[in-house]
C-alpha cells in the first residue's frame, strides 16, 4: 500500500476549510471535463456533498449546480463521506477498490440514502479517460502533432 506522506496533512490542518473547498472544486471541475462521470452529476443538482477528512481534521462542502462543483462552506450537507486522507487518496488514485474502502468502513457515507447510494455508484464507476479529458479541455485536436499523438488524422 502506498503511504501518503504526513506533510500533506499539514496544509489541511492550517489552511481554512473554505479555501480548500474553493481550490478543490476548481481542480475537480477541470479534471471532470470530458469524463463520463460529469454527465451524471446533473442528477445531483442542488445537493450538498461534504468530504470529512478525519485525520486533518478538515471538512470540504460542495454544492452541485448544473453538473459542476461549487464551494458551499456553510451549507447543510445532504451527504457526507468521512475517512482518513490516505483512504481518499487510495480512492482517487484507484489503488483500492471503492467497495473495499466502504465495506471495511475506512470510508463512510452518511446522510440522505438515495444521494449517498448515487454518490457511491459514481465513485465505483469512476475511470479517468485521458483522451476525452484532453479533447474536452483543449477542443477537437484534429490538426498538429498533439492531434496525431491522440490518433487523429491531419
Indicate whether 45 belongs to any domain: yes
Indicate whether 62 belongs to any domain: yes
13 near 56, Cβ under 8 Å? yes
pLDDT in tens, 36-93: 888 888 999 999 999 999 988 889 999 999 889 999 988 899 999 999 988 988 888 8
CATH number for position 120: 3.30.1050.10
Indicate whether 133 belongs to any domain: no
CA dist., res. 15 & res. 24, Å (int): 13
CA dist., res. 108 & res. 65, Å (int): 24
Indicate whether 142 belongs to any domain: no
Instruction: Find the domain containing 34 and state its range.
Output: 6-127
CA dist., res. 20 & res. 88, Å (int): 15
The Cα-based distances of 6 to 48, 53, 125, 138 in angstroms read 29, 13, 29, 35
Indicate whether 77 belongs to any domain: yes
> Rounded to two decimals, what is the model's pTM?
0.76
Total tally of structural domains belonging to the chain = 1
3-class secondary structure for 20-73? HHHHHHHHHHHHHCCCHHHHHHHHHCCCEEEEEECCCCEEEEEEEECCEEEECC
Predicted confidence band of residue 28 (pLDDT cuts 50, 70, 90): confident
Ramachandran quadrant class, 109 (left: phi over 0; alpha: psi -120 to 50; beta: rest): beta
Identify the DSSP state of 5. Answer: P
Grid cell 457526507 — which residue?
80
Indicate whether 89 belongs to any domain: yes
Q: What does the pLDDT read at residue 81?
A: 93
Percent of the chain surpassing pLDDT 90: 31
Amino acid at each position: 500500500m502506498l503511504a501518503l506522506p504526513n506533510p500533506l496533512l499539514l496544509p489541511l490542518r492550517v489552511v481554512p476549510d473554505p479555501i480548500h473547498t474553493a481550490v478543490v472544486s476548481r481542480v475537480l471541475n477541470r479534471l471532470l471535463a470530458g469524463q463520463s462521470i460529469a454527465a451524471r452529476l446533473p442528477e445531483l443538482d442542488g445537493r450538498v456533498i461534504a468530504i470529512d477528512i478525519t485525520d486533518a481534521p478538515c471538512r470540504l462542502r460542495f454544492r452541485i449546480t448544473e453538473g459542476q462543483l461549487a464551494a458551499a462552506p456553510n451549507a447543510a450537507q445532504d451527504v457526507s463521506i468521512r475517512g482518513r486522507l490516505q483512504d481518499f487518496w487510495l480512492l482517487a488514485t484507484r489503488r483500492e477498490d471503492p467497495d473495499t474502502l466502504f465495506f471495511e468502513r475506512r470510508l463512510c457515507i452518511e446522510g440522505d440514502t438515495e444521494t449517498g447510494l448515487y454518490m457511491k455508484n459514481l465513485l465505483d464507476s469512476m475511470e479517468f479517460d485521458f483522451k476525452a479529458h484532453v479533447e474536452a479541455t483543449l477542443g477537437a485536436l484534429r490538426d498538429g502533432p498533439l492531434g496525431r499523438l491522440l490518433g487523429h488524422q491531419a
